[in-house]
């Protein structure tokens, strides 16, 4: 699939600034070295006349370029590097196990390097992330009937008082209070457009946003308020299904998603979000048409605001709503991502109809 790209000036600026928002949108090929890189690569930047841009690594390879060893442009944006993968897998599978800096060093892993990666990709240190995973496991045990002491010791805490103090500090609740509290578990989901953050409660997926979206913190605050829930890193049975269905969507083999969704908002917002889900794959509507579809012809601006407040990107396809003149406007993940998604759907729709 050939995808349209922003102007070269925009792409070159993103390359020089190492703009992570463009990771997955393009690769930069350097004519003088024969190498192509991600936008975020830390290698020395070429002069504008020595670089050409491609939408995919495949296109760069077909033009005779080879991948950079430093930034690995053939990998999925945001994925854990090979040296870290075993550690992240272990924390996911066994959060109750204690792992100290000394343990990391004994495995041949530099603790400072681990800390930098987690700060960049999760916004917290490795040990803070590990603590959050343990707390999430304890939170779930308490909510499903374990007494506080059993939950604490089963998740690796040696002191009940220490567990209770940390639990209250991180969640604002005592362990007993959490028994009736809702929990939103969140995780990172890797996509060709960069990492996203997904959130789920018992009823279904309630969040899917690009991690670099400027309104992400606001959206998390709104989820806490709307669902009266705490948010912690963790696992959910919905996440593996979400991973699979997103992979199928980006491969062009899935047009609709069948995950249960939790669309928590005002009645007007929920009407708009439900209507978004009726826009067929590969089809676009204007904001005016969207307003007419919900019987609110004069509420175009309100519809646009509700679209912007959508917290479940791609699955609730606000990217399919465009300006009345066909211009791409108003997408929280960035217009380059909106263009990518529409090009993807248009390409596969044309292939099916052909």
Active site residues: 318
| 107 Cα distance to chain centroid | 29
Which of 113, 115, 18, 33 has the alpha carbon at shortest distance from 69?
A: 33
Which of 325, 332, 339 has the alpha carbon at shortest distance from 309?
A: 332
Which of 310, 275, 278 has the alpha carbon at shortest distance from 296?
A: 275
Contact 219, 209 (CB under 8 A): yes
Which of 335, 333, 348, 329 has the alpha carbon at shortest distance from 286?
A: 329
In residues, how long is the chain? 354
Q: Is the torsion defined by CA of 339, 342, 347, 350 positive or negative?
A: negative
CB atoms near residue 215 (< 10 Å): 14
Strand 196-201 and strand 182-189: pairing?
A: antiparallel
Rounded to whole angstroms, how far apart are CA atoms 42 and 108? Answer: 24
Contact 126, 118 (CB under 8 A): yes
Residues with Cβ < 8 Å from 93, sequence gap 6 or more?
none
For helices 111-122 and 82-93, give the axis angle rounded to 10 degrees. Answer: 70
Strand ranges (E), the chain: 27-30, 35-37, 51-54, 66-67, 182-189, 196-201, 204-210, 229-233, 285-286, 321-322
3-state SS class at 142: helix
Which of 318, 317, 276, 312 has the alpha carbon at shortest distance from 294?
A: 276
Q: Which helix (H) or strand (E) holds 164?
A: helix 160-171
Task: State the chain's maximal CA–CA distance in angstroms.
Answer: 66
């Amino acid at each position: 699939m050939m995808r349209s790209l922003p102007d070269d000036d925009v792409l070159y600026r993103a390359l020089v600034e190492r703009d992570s928002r463009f990771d997955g949108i393009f690769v930069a090929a350097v004519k003088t070295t024969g190498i192509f890189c991600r936008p975020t690569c830390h290698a020395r930047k070429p002069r504008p006349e020595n670089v050409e841009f491609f939408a995919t690594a495949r296109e760069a390879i077909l033009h005779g370029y080879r991948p950079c060893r430093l930034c690995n442009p053939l990998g999925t944006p945001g994925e854990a590097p090979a040296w870290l993968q075993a550690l992240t897998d272990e924390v996911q599978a066994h959060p109750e196990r204690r792992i100290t800096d000394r343990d990391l060093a004994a495995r041949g892993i530099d603790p400072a390097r681990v800390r930098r990666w987690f700060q960049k990709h999760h916004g917290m240190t490795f040990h803070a992330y590990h603590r959050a995973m343990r707390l999430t496991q304890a939170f779930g045990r308490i909510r499903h009937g374990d007494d506080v002491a059993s939950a604490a010791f089963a998740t690796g805490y040696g002191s009940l008082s220490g567990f209770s103090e940390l639990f209250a500090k991180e969640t604002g609740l005592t362990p007993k209070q959490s028994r009736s509290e809702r929990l939103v578990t969140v995780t990172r989901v890797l996509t060709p457009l960069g990492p996203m953050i997904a959130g789920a409660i018992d009823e279904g997926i309630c969040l899917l946003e690009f991690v670099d979206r400027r309104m992400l913190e606001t959206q998390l605050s709104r989820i806490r308020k709307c669902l009266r829930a705490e948010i912690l890193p963790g696992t959910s049975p919905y996440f593996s299904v979400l991973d699979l269905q997103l992979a199928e969507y980006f491969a062009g083999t899935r047009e609709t998603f069948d995950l249960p969704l939790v669309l928590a908002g005002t009645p007007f917002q929920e009407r708009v979000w439900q209507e978004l889900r009726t826009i067929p794959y590969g089809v676009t509507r204007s904001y005016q048409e969207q307003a007419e579809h919900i019987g609110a012809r004069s509420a175009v601006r309100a519809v646009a605001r509700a679209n912007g407040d959508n917290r479940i990107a791609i699955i609730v396809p606000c990217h399919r709503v465009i300006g009345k003149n066909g211009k791409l406007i108003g997408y929280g993940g960035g217009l380059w991502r909106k263009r990518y998604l529409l090009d993807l759907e248009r390409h596969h729709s044309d292939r099916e109809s052909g």
